[in-house]
Amino acid sequence: MSEDLESLENLVKLAKEPSSDKRHELLRVITDVFMEKPEDLTKRESDYFADIIGKIAFDLEMAVRKDLVARLATVKAAPRKLMKMLANDKIEVARPVLKKSGALENADLIEIIKRHSQEHLMAISVRKTLSEEVTDQLVSRGCDPVLESLARNNGAKLSRQSMEEMTERSEKYAPMQEPLLKRDDLPADLKHEMFMFVSSALRQHILATIEDIDESEVDKLLEQSRVQLGVTKSEIALSPAERFISRKERLMQLNPELLMQLLRQGKIAEFIAGLARLAEIETETAHRVTFDKGGEMLAMVCKAIGVDRLTFADMLLLTNQEGERDQKTRDALLGVYARITHEAAQRALRFWRTRKRMTRNLEKDKTAIGA
């Protein structure tokens, strides 16, 4: 191998030839020499190859560099310096390197994420393994399709902060929801946050895994939420509907039967306020539950507050103001209702009480009160 390296000094001179064909041939010969036993090269020898191959390859047309990448992308002992150069090339050249090259280090990937296109980021997102250091940068700078690709990559380690960001962005980008929910490392509280806006099919997936919730983690999140809010419900101005429900609560008249009476009378605002008070959720959340097209959210809340199956069936019918739930859908929801346990539903509600969106809304209310 050392003799080959010495002969390369003479071959480099051919790189100055004006003929593209001769330089292309020179590149092929040098690459062949390198590929004989790349793992046996010293660092100095590897760097020497990188300098020579780089000088030739980047003086030729892109097609030549694409051929070079096809040979080197999966070679673990490929010169890091050369692979960095190719990874920073146009995406047609860089893509195989970004996807497969083991020669690139975290620092190289982060530098590329900060400097290059979303196509470069997409290629990085599918690497066999990715550290949190790299995925944090991808989440920070990547577009929604990049984050979707990252969610599908089980070899990508995601920090809690990144998963929170992906959860929030998935509300407006539905293709990210399923791969994110099906990750084994997605925390239970984020699954329940997504329950608010995902499809009925994905809600079924969440319900199927609801028993795996860690009770101590629920309590920890609730306590953090209380500390962060620093405001009690009594400090927030009540609407007329909420004042009505407060009176009913003081008179010990707040129960599922009252909710049904309010629905039959068309008093939707009072129904929402009563549902919020019984379930101990925010009015915004109770509103979403009431007008949820799927009905699974209403099923979860009703089961948690002890509504019987027949009353729930009536609520399904009376909250179906736009007629989107046909009889078949209502029957399916009643089946779901039967399968949800009271304990599982209560745990789900405890997670909903910690949602970041509620925190932001309450903080806005607190600011308005102090204004």
The model's pLDDT over 10-22, given as tens digits with 9 standing for 90+, comes to 555 555 555 566 5
Instruction: Give the pLDDT of residue 255.
Output: 94
233 lies in the same domain as 347: yes
220 lies in the same domain as 365: yes
321 lies in the same domain as 220: yes
3-state SS record for 236-279: CCCCHHHHHHHHHHHCCCCCHHHHHHHHHCCCHHHHHHHHHHHH
Is the distance from CB of 137 to CB of 110 less than 8 angstroms?
yes
Domain count, the chain: 3
In the chain, which ranges are E strands? Answer: none
Give dist(CA 64, CA 67) in Å, integer: 5
Q: What is the pLDDT of residues 297-344, one digit of tens each?
A: 899 999 999 999 999 999 998 988 777 788 888 888 898 899 888 888
Domain range spanning residue 34? 1-104
43 lies in the same domain as 27: yes
Tell me the CA distances in angstroms from 20 to 8, 15, 58, 328, one per residue in order.
18, 9, 12, 70
Q: Which residue is listed with tokens 């101005």? A: 237
For residue 226, give the 3-state DSSP assignment: helix
82 lies in the same domain as 174: no
Looking at the domain assignment, is residue 42 inside a domain? yes
Q: What is the pLDDT of residues 105-138, one digit of tens each?
A: 999 999 999 999 999 999 999 999 999 999 999 9
Give dist(CA 59, CA 17) in Å, integer: 11
Q: Can you spell out the DSSP letters for 202-217? A: HHHHHHHTGGG--HHH
Beta bridge partners of 22: none
* Residue type at 13 in one-letter notation: K
For residue 130, give the 3-state DSSP assignment: strand
Looking at the domain assignment, is residue 43 inside a domain? yes
Over range 248-255, report the average pLDDT.
91
Looking at the domain assignment, is residue 209 inside a domain? no
